[in-house]
């Protein structure tokens, strides 16, 4: 009796896997999903970059407007110029002209995952004395449904849909052969069961890893989501290794379930429940920090006291007559009042 070499078995299994219609249907759906996700990611990054450009343009406009105002008001005129209309007044410039932005540009790999970028502000207009609300609480209101359901980005496809694709490819690979009696026939051949199982799941793992890495690369190229890496090559390589390990983990999970439970129904049910637990339930429990109700008392922190203190000092009777009379430039202290 001769033992078939593993490489031969693996090759035979690879041919079998690639001959199945289900394989190509699953891989096609996966690649389409990856392309769509990369397109949405590229669109999001482009929007973020456009917002940064708008902030820079706004900063330039402010300087232009201030120069124009200075030139206009430098001419002799009976018109009274209050400090908030006068860019040569330091306090007026700081509170009513100046636009300084703290920005957080997207990283070279930002197209992969929206992460927290849709809830944490990427641009903050820093305020100097005028704002009574913290700058870091600012956000852009928009569709709450989008935030609630989450973005359709590459992270979603790779973390949530890829395991489902692997389960579709490998979930019933051994158990269905057990159900149909083919496993009994294989057992009569001079090949050890471990070797057969390794070849079967190894073939699926190779196909799945190649499809996931190739599909992701293709999607990024087609969508234009990956620009100059700027020193992020190592991170990209680590990401590829992590993705391969993630796919291999789910193939191993399929193999484990196939070895512990007989029958395709039980295997599928257990794998999908395991997917739901690992990707949704455990991830959620592990990352919950602040319950929804812990907010209102936050405002009473120390920094807020400073803001209230400022308001109270301004409320002590130093209101500037705004809009009438002359000589407002040299008055102090100054309120933030504008007509």
State which of positions 226-245 bind other proteins (CB under 8 A).
none
Scanning residues 175 to 214, which ones bind other proteins (CB under 8 A)?
176, 179
Compute, in degrees rounded to 10, the torsion defined by CA atoms 217, 222, 224, 227: 30
Dihedral of the alpha carbons of 40, 41, 44, 49, in degrees to the nearest 10: -140
Nearest approach in angstroms of CB 195 to other proteins is: 26
Would you tell me how many other CB atoms lie within 10 Å of the CB of residue 250? Answer: 25
Read off the tokens for 136. 């870091």
324 forms part of the interface with other proteins (CB under 8 A): yes
The answer to whether residue 148 forms part of the interface with other proteins (CB under 8 A) is yes
Options 1-9, 212-220, 221-229, 329-337: segment touching other proteins (CB under 8 A): 329-337
Stretch that binds other proteins, among 112-120, 185-193, 214-222, 227-235 (CB under 8 A): 112-120
Q: How far apart are alpha carbons 204 and 13 in whole angstroms?
A: 8
Q: Closest distance between other proteins and the C-beta of residue 1, in Å?
A: 34
How far apart CA 91 and CA 162 sit, in angstroms, is 56
Of the candidates 188, 325, 330, 332, which one interacts with other proteins according to CB under 8 A? Answer: 325
Please, which of residues 28-47 interact with other proteins by CB under 8 A? 33, 36, 40
User: Quick one: 286 exposed, middle or buried, by C-beta within 10 A (0-12, 13-18, 19+)?
Assistant: exposed
Q: How far apart are CA 114 and CA 131, in angstroms?
A: 29
Instruction: Work out which of 235, 261, 322, 329 binds other proteins, going by CB under 8 A.
Output: 322
Among 21, 194, 300, 303, contact with other proteins (rule: CB under 8 A): 300
128 belongs to the binding site for other proteins (CB under 8 A): no
Q: Which stretch binds other proteins (CB under 8 A): 145-153, 182-190, 216-224, 231-239?
A: 145-153
* Residues between 52 and 111 with contacts to other proteins, criterion CB under 8 A: 54, 58, 65, 69, 73, 79-82, 84-86, 96
Our finding on whether 21 is near other proteins (CB under 8 A) is: no
Of 185 and 276, nearer to other proteins (C-beta) is 276
Query: Could you say whether residue 288 binds other proteins (CB under 8 A)?
Result: yes
d(CA 73, CA 76): 7
Q: Which stretch binds other proteins (CB under 8 A): 9-17, 140-148, 201-209, 241-249?
A: 140-148
User: For other proteins, which residue of 186, 263, 270, 278 counts as binding (CB under 8 A)?
Assistant: 263
- What region, left, alpha or beta, does residue 141 occupy, with left being phi > 0 and alpha being psi -120 to 50 degrees? beta
Distance between CA atoms of residues 143 and 149, nearest Å: 10
Report the distance separating Cα 325 and Cα 80, nearest Å: 7
Is position 23 an interface residue for other proteins (rule: CB under 8 A)? no
At which residue do the structure tokens 């694709």 appear? Answer: 165
The nearer residue to other proteins, 185 or 281, going by C-beta atoms, is: 281
Binding residues for other proteins, rule CB under 8 A, total: 96
Interface pick for other proteins out of 63, 182, 185, 283 (rule CB under 8 A)? 283
Give φ, ψ of 29 to 5 degrees: -60, -40
What is the footprint of other proteins within residues 151-180 (CB under 8 A)?
A: 151-152, 156, 160-161, 164, 168, 172, 176, 179
DSSP 151-189: ---HHHIIIIIHHHHHHHHHTTTTHHHHHHTHHHHHHTS
Chain mean position to CA 297: 29
**Which letter does DSSP use for residue 55 in this model?**
H
User: Interacting stretch for other proteins, rule CB under 8 A, among 116-124, 186-194, 208-216, 230-238?
Assistant: 116-124
């Amino acid at each position: 009796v001769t033992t078939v070499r593993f490489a031969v078995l693996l090759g035979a299994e690879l041919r079998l896997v690639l001959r199945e219609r289900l394989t190509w249907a699953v891989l096609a759906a996966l690649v389409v999903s990856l392309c769509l996700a990369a397109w949405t990611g590229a669109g999001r990054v482009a929007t973020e970059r456009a917002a940064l450009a708008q902030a820079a343009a706004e900063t330039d406009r402010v300087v232009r407007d201030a120069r124009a105002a200075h030139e206009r008001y430098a001419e002799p005129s009976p018109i009274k110029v209050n400090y908030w209309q006068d860019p040569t007044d330091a306090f007026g410039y700081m509170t009513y002209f100046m636009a300084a932005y703290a920005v957080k540009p997207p990283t070279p790999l930002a197209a992969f995952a929206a992460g927290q970028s849709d809830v944490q502000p990427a641009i903050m207009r820093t305020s100097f004395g005028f704002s009574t609300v913290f700058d870091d609480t600012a956000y852009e209101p928009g569709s709450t449904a989008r935030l609630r359901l989450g973005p359709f980005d590459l992270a979603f496809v790779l973390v949530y849909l890829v395991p489902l694709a692997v389960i579709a490819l490998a979930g019933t690979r051994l158990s269905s052969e057990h159900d149909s009696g083919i496993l009994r026939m294989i057992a009569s051949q001079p090949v050890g069961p471990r070797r057969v199982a390794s070849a079967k799941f190894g073939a699926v793992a190779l196909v799945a890893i190649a499809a996931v890495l190739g599909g992701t690369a293709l999607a990024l190229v087609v969508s234009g989501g990956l620009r100059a890496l700027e020193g992020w090559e190592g991170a990209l390589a680590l990401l590829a290794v992590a993705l391969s390990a993630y796919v291999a983990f789910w193939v191993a999970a399929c193999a484990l379930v196939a070895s512990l439970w007989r029958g395709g129904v039980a295997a599928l049910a257990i794998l999908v429940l395991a997917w739901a637990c690992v990707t949704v339930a455990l991830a959620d429990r592990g990352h919950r920090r602040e319950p929804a109700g812990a907010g209102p008392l936050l405002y009473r922190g120390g920094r807020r006291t400073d803001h209230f203190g400022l308001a109270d000092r301004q409320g002590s009777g130093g209101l500037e007559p705004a809009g009438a009379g002359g000589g407002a430039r040299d008055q102090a202290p100054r309120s933030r009042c504008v007509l």
